[in-house]
Structure 1
Amino acid sequence: MTNPPGLMISAPASGTGKTTVMLGLLRALRDDGLVVQPYKSGPDYIDPAFHLAAAGRPSFNFDTWAMDADLLGGISGQQDGADICVAEGSMGLFDGVATRGQSGFGSSAETALAMGWPVVLVIDVSGQAQSAAATALGFRMYNPDLPFAGVILNRVASPRHERLTRVGMEQAGITVLGSLPRRGDLKLPERHLGLIQAVEHPDLEAAIAGYAEFLRENVDLEAIRAAAKAGQAAPVHPLPLPPAQRIALARDAAFSFTYPHLLTGWRAAGAEILPFSPLADQAPDPTADLVWLPGGYPELHAGTLASAATFKAGLRKHAKTKPVHGECGGYMALGEILIDKEGARHEMAGLLGLVTSYEKRKFNLGYRRAVLERAMPGFDTGTALRGHEFHYSSIIEQPDAALAAVFDADGNPVTQTGSHKGNVTGTFFHLITGEAT
């Protein structure tokens, strides 16, 4: 398979506006008649839903820490039929973990190198002018092997500010691909886990159309298209196999975070995905072989979930004879009690003895490597899994047996080991893949 040309949209740091640039670019290229394949570098599970809305094509994560070459090849295979690939980086361009994983440190620069994609650096030039060129030059020179397309200047205060900044870039030999005037209405709404979910945006289509128009007015789209390059085509491998044939998948505003490559792989292998909504008090399909509760925001909907009698009864009935698995928010919903930010206690499904609290918040973030001490759907005892954890809720009680020995990216033990009881398993990390054997 011949790879289409691609680009990596990155930045020196988080908060520079690269997501709004990414969404505007995806939509502008799509409006020009191109088939655009979006990607996200790193473990973010919110941005791909925004990418789908902008490009009209599912977005996938590339993760050079968690994924081996076979899985990266399988995800690369999703480019089929695309005219151009556009990836959004995570954090700063070179930010990753301290310890090498299966493939690398997990930075956006690694993804760009692996795919042969030049980097477009979005730089927030607020409070500086010619000095921004020193930042751009440093990023271009930090790894000379990394192809560098140029910069987009963001949050430019005035024509004079733009002129001075461009002078610095010209002196440094940096190509300026666009200059975006400062506009307060271009910021996406956020909450405690970053951006709100795409399904919750009050008018996402209008927002994305506005971003596209803004980019078209201020960015050289032809130059960006010309800068895109295709790397050497990698062998295409299958995506992960499904953990069951018929999978009842919770899917609503409380349960929405599942990595797209997993669902695509499950469907490609013939599994049937049976969505249901706990918030609408829907029970999982009684013919399902497995119930899977993804992560999301159950802490924001605890009262509704506590009163969802049909959902909880159906879940309990299923768990008597067949497996149930929850990750992060899904794990919390399988427990006895969820305590919300006001300290109110809400009864969850009670399939695990877990008690979690969003009132007593603690930031938990990072890659996870877990060695299973008990089988879970799709994986045998002793299997090593790779995943990512991102939540603020704390465990108050966890009386059940540990599901796995869990470690961070540097090999340090993690206290959130997951748990199991009967046919029910749960983890606080989001599954990315099982390690190759």
Structure 2
Amino acid sequence: MIAPGLIIAAARSGSGKTTLALGLMRALTRRGMRVSAVKCGPDYIDPAFHAAATGRQSLNLDSWAMDAGLIAGLAGGAARDADIVVGEGAMGLFDGAPGGAAGVGASADIAALLGWPVLLIHDVSGQAQTAAAVLRGLATHDARVKIAGVVMNRVGSERHRRLVSEGAAALDLTVFGALPRNESVALPERHLGLVQAGETADLDARLDALADFIEAHVDVDAVAASARSSEGAFPTGGSQNIFKPPAHRIAIARDDAFSFFYPHLAQAWRAAGAELFFFAPLADEPPPEHCDLCWLPGGYPELHAGRLAQAGRFLSGLRQFATTRPVHGECGGYMVLGRGLVDAAGAAHAMAGLLDLETSFAKRKLHLGYRRARLAADHSLGAAGRLLRGHEFHYATILRETGEPFALARDAYSDNDAPAGLRQGRVSGSFFHLIG
């Protein structure tokens, strides 16, 4: 059976997509439904909340970094052994970047590729009849995208609700509900988005409160009934193997400092025969000795730099591992491979010293966007020149970065490659996050 799906999207960021998505996922799960979740675009944090809300792993679908076969394969896997798939969009419905593998990276691409309708959530604060004009544009901008209906958000009064709902009804848009202003259901945030699911206090109670809020103001049954299945979009043999696994036995750091590792990579590597072994640097665990490669994902090492600097077994084990086997770091993992990291308070902390790199959070600058990278030399991820697609998202400032590059990379708006990251012996890393 292929479960029906829908995607929650909006005109812009900050409209309430996560509130509606998590509340809906939890409400349907509490009813005994098997709810699969997906996140459109590059994001590590939201899928962890999806998993907490549904009890099932959430996956990312990204039309800029993934080809159509991979998207269909991943979505098909999510839709099997489920009753419904709820997707959470990113930014605005049509926002993206040029040069993608299967689209521009917009939530609209995923909806069109998979035949899933879009449930709009629209922030009507500061609007009345004008809300209908915005909704008309969203509903008619792309004929490939079918709009299931709309939930109004941040409604100020009964009169306000009536004005915006009447405008939507005149467009033949189903209004599934209206959410009043309620800051008490907001989840805590920090510089890369929400505080991670595993660090959020009373998470189950917060998710239940979100579900209660959505149940009270949205016709959840009607929303679920609006989901649609497009079995033709899910070929039996989707493109699951993004890459040959970089090794047979892979040690992967995983704790509050190293949590940004895409589930679809783990899924693809395991499907190709690799074994994954997780260890916790914050618990002063070294990479498992029997592994062939160590992978340090991104995360929040800047928040735990002092503890990492004091994790002697982890650091010495990592250095010893690197003498005979490859070590690769992404973003936060890359910073830990360097000589030092300056935290937001200006305190300097010694790191592994395996790359000639020093980074700082004392002066933060946002680096954000899709990246196309070609390996500068033969690597565990492939031969020199192999194209990698992914993204960059961090606030670190580079104080020193000296050596041979890991890759030659460009953003979605550039035609020029520039050195990215470092490699030295068996050790490599960059701020680039691999997606597809």
**Distance in 2 between the 1:111 and 1:217 partners?**
29
Paired residue for 1:395? 398
* 1:91-110 map, 5 Å: 91-97=91-97, 99-110=98-109
Partner of 2:233: 233
- Counterparts of 2:321 and 2:76, CA distance in 1: 36
Asked if residue 139 in structure 1 is aligned to residue 138 in structure 2, the reply is yes
Please give the alpha-carbon distance, in whole angstroms, between the structure 1 residues aligned to 2:425 and 2:291. Answer: 18
Measured against aligned partners, the alpha-carbon deviations of 1:336-369 in whole angstroms (never above 9, x if no partner) come to 0111112211100000011111112111000011
Larger mean CA deviation between 351-360 and 154-163 belongs to 154-163
Q: Which amino acid aligns with 2:241?
A: L
- The corresponding residue for 1:277 is 280
Q: Return the alpha-carbon distance in structure 2 between the equivalents of residues 50 and 414 of structure 1.
A: 36
Please report how far the alpha carbon of residue 38 of structure 1 lies from its aligned counterpart in structure 2 after TM superposition.
Answer: 0.4
2:411 aligns with one of 408, 413, 416: 408
- Percent of aligned pairs with the same amino acid: 53
Sort the Cα spacing of 1:298 and 1:225 in 2 relative to 1 into closer, same or farther, 3 A. Answer: same
* Structure 2 counterpart of 1:356, one-letter code: T
Equivalent AA in structure 1 for residue 167 of structure 2: G
Structure 2 residue aligned with 1:24: 23
Distance in 2, matches of 1:198 and 1:12, equals 26
- Preserved CA contact (<8 Å) 1:75 1:239: no
Q: Deviations over 1:106-161 (max 9, x none)?
A: 10001100010111110111122222111111110111331110100111112222
Post-superposition Cα deviations, 1:352-398, rounded to whole Å, max 9, x if no partner, equal 01111111211100001111111232322111100110000011111
Deviation at 1:414, TM superposition (A): 6.2
- 2:73/2:234 contact within 8 Å kept: no
TM-score by length of 1: 0.96
Aligned to 1:71: 70
Match of 1:373? Answer: 376
Deviation at 1:53, TM superposition (A): 0.4
What is the rounded CA distance, in whole Å, between the counterparts of 2:102 and 2:189 in structure 1?
Answer: 32
In 1, the alpha carbon distance for the partners of 2:138 and 2:100 equals 23
In 2: Cα distance, 1:413 partner to 1:320 partner: 34
- Name the CA distance, whole Å, in 1 between partners of 2:162 and 2:362: 49
User: For the Cα contact (< 8 Å) 1:118–1:146, is it kept in 2?
Assistant: yes
How far residue 316 of structure 1 moved from its aligned partner, in angstroms, is 0.4
The Cα of 1:267 is off from its aligned counterpart by: 2.2
The aligned amino acid for 1:93 is L
What is the CA–CA distance in structure 2 between the aligned matches of 1:302 and 1:378, rounded to whole Å?
Answer: 28
Q: Distance in 1 between matches of 2:186 and 2:369?
A: 25
Deviation per residue, 1:31-54 (Å, 9 max, x gap): 122111100011111111011001
Matched, 1:5 2:4: yes
Whether the 8 Å contact between 1:239 and 1:261 is mirrored in structure 2 is no
Report how many residues are paired: 431
SS at 1:365 equivalent: strand
The match for 1:315 is 318
- CA distance in 2: counterparts of 1:77 and 1:388, whole angstroms: 24
Deviation by residue 1:57-107 (Cα, 9 ceiling, x = unmatched) = 11111111111123213312322211111100000001011x232211110
| SS in structure 1 of the partner of residue 152 of structure 2 | strand
What is residue 203 of structure 1 aligned with on the other side? 202
Look up the SS of the partner of 1:326 in the other structure: strand
Letter in 2 for 1:47: D
Supply the distance in 1 between the matched residues of 2:164 and 2:117 (Cα, whole angstroms).
Answer: 22
Contact 1:3/1:233 (CA < 8 Å) preserved in 2?
no
Unmatched segments (≥5 aa) in structure 2: none
Q: In the alignment, what sits opposite 1:156?
A: 155
Q: Which amino acid aligns with 1:324?
A: V
Q: Secondary structure at the match of 1:313?
A: helix
Deviations 1:167-193 (A, max 9, x none): 222223221011111111121111111
Q: How much is the aligned-residue C-alpha RMSD, in angstroms?
A: 1.3
Matches within 5 A, 1:20-419: 20-79=19-78, 80-97=80-97, 99-231=98-230, 232-235=232-235, 236-237=237-238, 238-240=240-242, 241-413=244-416, 415=418, 417-419=420-422
8 Å contact from structure 1 (residues 16, 124) kept in 2: yes
Q: Which amino acid in the other structure matches residue 202 of structure 1?
A: A
SS in structure 2 of the partner of residue 401 of structure 1: coil
SS state at 2:50 partner: helix
Contact 2:257 2:282 in 1 (8 A): yes
Residue identity opposite 2:115 in structure 1 = G
Secondary structure in 1 aligned to 2:170? helix
8 Å Cα contact 2:72-2:233 kept in structure 1: no
